[in-house]
Structure 1
């Protein structure tokens, strides 16, 4: 059944509309929406954890949270980090905003495509953004040495590297990130955005957070919302040497974290095993979903170490039309990347989800492309599609 979708929602910003906005516009059918757009962890928190939060919801909403130092101190104990090296915020984008105001003086280098706030935020405050284009023919892989040469040639004073990168899920080994940090020790700031690092299975202990804490100009950014599937709580944190982390803590409001965030942080110590299992299940789903998508001749699938997959549509297939078709006929919400710098609407970022949800996505894609392929098959035309699968 078709449900009318206002395409204007997708034209107002460089980001997708929220799940709540979209579901409200869909009326009675909004509750049936499957979200392949916003990166999440479908297996965490567990149902028992949600039950605990539900039972305590009145207290959580009624009373003031503890101050940020108390909450971040507990997080440091769970992570095994020095509390002096952590600053916790109301979402990682709050930290991106304040890093721009505090430490980005006049120029910042960033590979593209990437998370939009890394380019949008400094441009909004009049900084020069030096964009290093990643190439499709290499699977959007980042060449560290070429990026360092680019930074030197441009004279960038701040450098950002997202690992894994968003939207392609490309991952660089830990040794390469350490080499990148050390090669740029004279810059004002080097930021390693590890918002999706927990989903990596290419190597054990891929994070460089502990290494950042002993370097003079490095900040590692983390997003608990993405890791734990709790975007609505809005919490992220950074790890840096005590001087940088302390300056950020003094800049942020004393009560910038909410009571739901506090409740979850204090629950984490008892649920580490469940979180590890959620990552294992998601890695399984990522592999299976990639294999199923690769069977569609209309898609090119790129390797990913994150909780999403980047795909490219075959020539002649309009990603915007496919997005609207999936929402209106199948209540499936995807991220079409036409408003991402360095991409076009031929690219889609698809969040990894369980098998039943993937089946609904694939059914919707097949329904959309089938008339086109029937027409081309009658003319005996079929383009070649090259696939890269993790």
Structure 2
């Protein structure tokens, strides 16, 4: 495996780039790296998209306001409080240009664009370290004191957080927003909030819409298992949301995104079932991984699990081994601020994929197991 492929940025290479490098082996690649929903859209929904593909690719989409208005109807939101974008990172970029004036506070480790984007435009980034000894849990009071001590102008909170899946109860997030009502902006990144099952209605989007300085960020690609479409949205009071809508291009969404948004109204039950299945798989996957003595598995409310490797395992070597020998793609966290390559993030996947991952990780720690795995694979092909 070409190590340079993983050293170009602070993010992982795309599935397509990696599959091209693997050649024929890319067809067997199982993605444990990019957070996705494996149960949605359903096969029937993909069949419907396939039947409409020619029209989807051939004709212009509606403007962003039309598509966002339909999404608002599906979600039960006021369209005046929304702005829809070509991926959540587009919104992060424009938030930085519009509202990040001097400094931004952010717990680390977290999603890399929250630190990279403001640093690229010369802002001061006040990084609040989440401690391994605390299981990377965020203490709201400690974070608030940090923000005040640093006199940060903007504060960001990711809930659940990436890469650890740590979750703050809704009441704590509301308290956080209210304590910082004097800041220029408070951003709550809820890209993974739909995967939470610790409490009902965990989102604070409706609360943000009536506050003067709060923006909630959402990522439809992560929730719906459609990263390739690139769509996200924010919820804020009509003034902030309107500023963002006027800043974004009028036709910044594509026809495929529009098609999916209009399909969602008819497939809410399937989406809710996908979340139930994923929560089940998250629990069983954590149990299976925890049985490997070389791993420490952290509790998560997202669609991924953070895992610490034993001192005998190098995360970079493990990542390359799993790709080259078993066509399994994982997220090694050595290039994440606040982490090292002793940590890997593993996306929740169905049981058969997890069994393949657990066997391969066991084989890495016990090389004699590799020969037995090869015999099993050959026997399966011959059957």
Aligned-pair CA distance for 1:371: 4.2
Residues 280-299 of structure 1 aligned to structure 2 (within 5 Å): 280-299=276-295
- The answer to whether 1:349 aligns with 2:352 is no
Question: Structure 2 residue aligned with 1:219, among 215, 240, 252?
Answer: 215
Aligned-pair CA distance for 1:191: 0.1
Residue 315 (structure 1) aligns with: 311
TM-score (norm 2): 0.96
Secondary structure, aligned partner of 1:26? helix
Secondary structure, aligned partner of 1:260? helix
Q: Could you tell me how far apart the structure 2 residues matched to 1:157 and 1:371 are?
A: 52
Residue 365 (structure 2) aligns with: 369
Aligned-pair CA distance for 1:372: 10
Residue 78 (structure 1) aligns with: 74
Q: Deviations over 1:117-143 (max 9, x none)?
A: 000000000000000000111110000
- The answer to whether 1:178 aligns with 2:174 is yes
Q: Could you tell me how far apart the structure 2 residues matched to 1:372 and 1:126 are?
A: 52
User: Which 4+ stretches in 1 moved above 4 angstroms?
Assistant: none
Secondary structure, aligned partner of 2:114? helix
Give the number of aligned pairs.
369
Residue 340 (structure 1) aligns with: 336
Q: Deviations over 1:79-115 (max 9, x none)?
A: 1010000000000000000000000001000000000
Aligned-pair RMSD on alpha carbons?
Answer: 0.9
Q: Could you tell me how far apart the structure 2 residues matched to 1:81 and 1:297 are?
A: 47
Question: Structure 2 residue aligned with 1:111, among 101, 107, 110?
Answer: 107
Secondary structure, aligned partner of 2:157? strand
- The answer to whether 1:245 aligns with 2:241 is yes
Aligned-pair CA distance for 1:316: 2.1
Structure 2: gaps of 5 or more residues = 370-383
Q: Deviations over 1:61-96 (max 9, x none)?
A: 000000000000000000101000000000000000
- The answer to whether 1:61 aligns with 2:57 is yes
Residue 208 (structure 1) aligns with: 204
Q: Could you tell me how far apart the structure 2 residues matched to 1:371 and 1:98 are?
A: 49
Structure 1: gaps of 5 or more residues = 374-390
Aligned-pair CA distance for 1:370: 1.0
Q: Deviations over 1:265-306 (max 9, x none)?
A: 000010000000000000000000000000000000000000
Secondary structure, aligned partner of 2:366? helix
Question: Structure 2 residue aligned with 1:92, among 66, 88, 111?
Answer: 88
Residue 330 (structure 1) aligns with: 326
Residue 32 (structure 2) aligns with: 36
